[in-house]
């Protein structure tokens, strides 16, 4: 059985990836500093506590497990924080990733799956993004991810580091079995914030910005179910195992929903009204980001089977009501 090193495996997307990897016959090795992740979410393979900025610790873990590939999720990812503390994002995301890449190359682990973001594209209103859309990120989060993509290309040229890059934006939903789900502290993502408001765990949801150039004035995003997303990452790993070369894939449904659209759909799923108030725009937010995935569907055979708003909200709501979520 192949060991796969999963950075950020104690986080939201990483923990779902670990379950998908285990189901596919791999052994996911979670490497996480637990700053934003939760050790209780590590249920599908070994756990190693460590920071990406600690090269010695990375070398120890590579030597111990001899992973066949890296699946890299660990990153700071809050847009507002990236605007106010850009240095933290460049240090953590870029320097940490460079350490990881160098450690992987030193250990002759030359297959690398990278969790990037559609935030690298920046503002492209009324355009369905594809992999060739120019990248003009609006904040240090998107810029740091773009820089890591560049580093991977350089190491491919110098050390034959094969990589698959996935760019996606709003991930939602939860494991249908409710073994793992979405939980951040502080919480910044729309769906869990909305469910907190429905459930009385916060007074109201704040809708940030109602003056965007959209039909209802709120910004538009493409939502992808977390399980569909991690299935794509496993397919990306298979792509590398088949020695098909490095590739970039967008992951999206090609359909955008505004904040108010999501709120409306939640009522039909939960049978509850979302209490919300309006607030100012968040600095660094784009008006509209919608990502096509024709390349992933054609070349990887990826199909986003659970990526409807109703399914994503229903799975998240089920997780939200579990005992694990209350911890």
Separation of alpha carbons 3 and 82, rounded Å: 33
- Cα(first)–Cα(last) distance of the chain, in Å? 33
Separation of alpha carbons 42 and 22, rounded Å: 12
What does the block give as tokens for 70?
């890296």
Our CA angle for 168, 179, 252, nearest 5°, is 15
What does the block give as tokens for 317?
């709501």
Kindly give the pairing relationship between strand 257-258 and strand 220-221: antiparallel
Q: Count H helices, E strands: the chain? A: 12, 15
Dump the DSSP string for 290-308. EE--HHIIIII----TT-S
Q: Shortest CA distance to 246 belongs to which of 163, 159, 145, 166?
A: 163
Respond yes or no: is residue 141 known to be catalytic: yes
Sign of CA dihedral 110, 233, 60, 45: negative
Q: Looking at the chain, how many residues does it have?
A: 327
Query: Out of 12, 141, 168, 212, which one is annotated catalytic?
Result: 141
Q: Is 30 helix (H, G, I), strand (E, B) or coil?
A: strand
Known catalytic residues are: 141
């Amino acid at each position: 059985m192949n060991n796969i090193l999963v950075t950020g495996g104690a986080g939201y997307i990483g923990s779902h990836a670990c379950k998908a990897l285990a189901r596919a016959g791999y052994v996911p090795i979670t490497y996480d500093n637990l700053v934003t992740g939760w050790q209780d979410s590590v249920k599908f393979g070994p756990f190693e506590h460590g920071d990406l900025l600690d090269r010695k610790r990375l070398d120890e873990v590579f030597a111990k497990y001899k992973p066949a590939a890296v699946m890299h999720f660990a990153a700071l990812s809050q847009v507002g924080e990236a605007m106010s503390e850009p240095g933290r994002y460049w240090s953590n995301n870029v320097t940490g990733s460079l350490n990881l890449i160098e450690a992987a190359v030193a250990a002759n682990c030359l297959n690398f799956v990278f969790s990037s973001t559609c935030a690298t594209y920046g503002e492209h209103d009324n355009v369905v993004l594809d992999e060739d859309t120019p990248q003009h990120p609006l904040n240090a989060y998107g810029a740091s991810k773009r820089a890591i993509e560049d580093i991977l290309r350089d190491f491919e040229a110098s050390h034959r580091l094969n990589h698959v890059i996935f760019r996606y934006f709003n991930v939602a939903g939860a494991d249908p079995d409710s073994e793992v789900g979405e939980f951040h502290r502080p919480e910044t993502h729309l769906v869990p914030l909305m469910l907190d408001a429905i459930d009385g765990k916060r007074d109201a949801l704040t809708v940030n910005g109602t003056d965007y150039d959209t039909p209802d004035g709120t910004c538009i995003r493409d939502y992808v179910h977390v399980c569909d997303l991690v299935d794509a990452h496993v397919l990306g790993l298979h792509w590398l195992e088949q020695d098909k070369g490095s590739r970039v894939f967008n992951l999206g449904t090609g359909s955008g929903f505004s904040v108010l659209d999501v709120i409306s759909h939640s009522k039909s799923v939960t049978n509850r009204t979302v209490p919300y108030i309006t607030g100012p725009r968040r600095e660094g937010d784009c008006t509209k980001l919608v990502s096509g995935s024709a390349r992933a569907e054609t070349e990887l055979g990826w199909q986003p089977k659970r990526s409807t708003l109703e399914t994503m909200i229903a799975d998240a709501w089920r997780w939200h009501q579990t005992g694990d979520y209350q911890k």
